[in-house]
Amino acid sequence: MLTCAGRVVMISGANRGIGRAVAEKLYREGYTLSLGARRPAELGEALHDWDSTRLLVCPFEASEAPAAQDWVNATVARFGRLDGLVNNAGIARHAGLEDLDETALDELWVVNVKGPLRLTRAALPHLRQSGHGRIINVASLSGKRVRNDNAGYAMSKFALLALTHASRRAGWGDGLRCTALCPGFVATDLTRDVTKVSREEMISPKDLAELVAMVLALSNTASLAELLVNCRFEDML
């Protein structure tokens, strides 16, 4: 198991939901954190009692191309290193297979795929230098199967799994390990309109935060490529 002391981890979408739960868990574990948020002032205000020597809050808008490199640069400038990246920021839009209007599909692709890709690309040199760099991509069971008519969302999550495996391949020799975290329904704002599963039956963001902490702490010889998390029974998943 790797020690958390001194290790620097970036988390996108840290304002709320899964990202916020992960940030709170890793802070308690002793990690130094760089948190990316669309509204950094609000997040900084909420975390005013955290140790400022272990915390950096930066603006990050996944749809803006320069944002990834700017955030990585700010993190390394502040802490001098980077050991982990949690690509959590994402959106849910409905994009059906037969929809002629591709606006929703384009939004999904930019935020759910190109956002993590740009962060990975910018972070890769520093994660390689770490010798035990970690990337955790918060995907979905929708990246493993297609269960409804939202083809566009599933496509974006399938692509995120491909990015995970491409990143594992690119950085393996330098100690970089990458994991796709694939949960079912999670009790966050993203699922507030879901009625097929009650909030009480959904996965808690805190449980996912526990899994992220575990993956970050595993040694280089115990790598999890994909971690599937169910809240209801699914054949083969």
Q: How far apart are the first and last CA of the chain?
A: 27
The answer to whether position 236 is within a domain reads no
Distances (CA, A) of 170 to 58, 104, 167: 27, 31, 5
Distances (CA, A) of 9 to 37, 83, 133, 228, 229: 14, 6, 9, 22, 22
Residue-wise pLDDT for 63-119, tens only, equals 999 999 999 999 999 999 999 999 999 999 999 999 999 999 999 999 999 999 999
Distances (CA, A) of 162 to 3, 63, 219: 29, 19, 23
Here the tokens at position 48 are 């005013």
The answer to whether position 157 is within a domain reads yes
Q: What percent of the chain has pLDDT over 90?
A: 95
pLDDT of residue 195: 87
Task: Evaluate if residue 217 carries a pLDDT over 90.
Answer: yes
The answer to whether position 114 is within a domain reads yes
* Cα distance between residue 1 and residue 200, in whole Å: 33
Phi then psi for 197, rounded to 5 degrees? -135, 130
Q: What is the pTM of this model?
A: 0.97
* Cα distance between residue 59 and residue 237, in whole Å: 36
pLDDT of residue 190: 87
Residue-wise pLDDT for 37-78, tens only, equals 999 999 999 999 999 999 999 999 999 999 999 999 999 999
Amino acid at 63: S
Residue-wise pLDDT for 155-173, tens only, equals 999 999 999 999 999 999 9
The answer to whether position 102 is within a domain reads yes
Q: How many domains, the chain?
A: 1
Place of tokens 């948020």: 37
The answer to whether position 237 is within a domain reads no
Task: Evaluate if residue 193 carries a pLDDT over 90.
Answer: no
pLDDT of residue 171: 98
Show the DSSP H helices in 30-114 as ranges: 40-46, 65-79, 103-108
Q: Which residues make Cβ contacts (< 8 Å) with residue 57, sequence separation at least 6? A: 14, 34, 35, 37, 40, 43, 44, 47
Residue-wise pLDDT for 121-155, tens only, equals 999 999 999 999 999 999 999 999 999 999 999 99
Range 186-212 average pLDDT: 94
Q: Which residues make Cβ contacts (< 8 Å) with residue 107, sequence separation at least 6? A: 63, 91, 93
The answer to whether position 1 is within a domain reads no
Parent domain of 131: 8-229
* Cα distance between residue 124 and residue 126, in whole Å: 5
Range 207-214 average pLDDT: 98
* Cα distance between residue 81 and residue 147, in whole Å: 41
The answer to whether position 55 is within a domain reads yes
* Cα distance between residue 236 and residue 160, in whole Å: 20
What's the CATH code of the domain at 145? Answer: 3.40.50.720
The answer to whether position 2 is within a domain reads no
Q: Tell me which of 100-109, 176-185, 190-199 is least confident.
A: 190-199
Maximum CA extent, the chain:
51
pLDDT of residue 86: 98
Comparing CA positions, the residue from 87, 71, 73 lying closest to residue 19 is 87
Task: Evaluate if residue 183 carries a pLDDT over 90.
Answer: yes
Half-sphere exposure of 202 (CA within 13 A, CB side): 20
Going by pLDDT thresholds of 50, 70 and 90, the confidence category of residue 7 is very high
Question: Which residues are known to be catalytic?
Answer: 153
